[in-house]
Amino acid sequence: MNAFQYKKGESPLIISMPHIGLEIPDVIKENMTDAALSMVDTDWYIDRLYNFMIKMDVTAIGAKYSRYVVDLNRGLEGESLYPGQNETTLCPTHTFENEALYQDGSVPDSASRAEKYWRPYHDQLKADIKRLKKKHGYVRLWDAHSIKSQVPHLFEGRLPDLNLGTGNGISADQRLVEKLDDIVKKSDYSTALNGRFKGGYITRNYGDPANNIDAIQLEISQITYMDEAPKAKFHEERANKLRPVLTKLIETMIE
């Protein structure tokens, strides 16, 4: 478990936070640019935003290392999640703003990083899905993300506040998705379902509604709960407004 953060629960819900990591090993850091060391594309404070889950009997797993070390929400085979659009890779070489991560333009050793940092996270995720499926007969997986409200290199304009993704309907039961979509639509936030963010590798790979495994991603626009990078400061007042909506979503997942 040295490669990730972990809290074991016994309810049928797993909360995954694959982009909250803030550590970079020295051997990797020494060749990185200032842009890389700022870790600007982190899913900042997602674990703090979801602090209410501590009181819930949910399993939670979160990244320890930065997504610049390895992106836990990308597949080992390098398959594209958004064909024809700009996107990041398993071991990124550029930031969301297309700034180089390495001083000499080198390409990371994806195979060794995957074995050391990617595989342990996914082995634990698979083990918990198996454990909870055996106990309850079904499992729910919530993949928690956030991103700056405007990233011109990745998408045009401002991102909706709350973006639900199910891989265009393949990763979760439609009745559950409708309940969740109804919650966000009734909130004070702008929303999208399978818009620019449809769910990454985790959602699409583990979601299997035919076998009672429902996986859903929520991509939150960071402006809803923080002052965005480069300042990257948590905003408690905004977060307290958003948390009741998130709590209702998570409670619905547990139901």
Domain membership of residue 24 as a residue range: 4-254
Which CATH number does the domain housing residue 48 bear? 3.40.630.40
Could you tell me the mean pLDDT of each successive run of 10 residues in the chain, 255 residues long? 90 98 96 95 98 96 98 85 69 94 90 96 98 98 97 92 97 98 98 96 98 98 94 96 98 95
Residue 89: predicted pLDDT? 87
- Split into its structural domains, the chain has a count of 1
In this structure, are residues 139 and 214 in contact, taking their beta carbons and an 8 Å threshold? yes
Residues forming a β-bridge with 215: 141
Residue 63: predicted pLDDT? 98
Q: Give the pTM.
A: 0.95
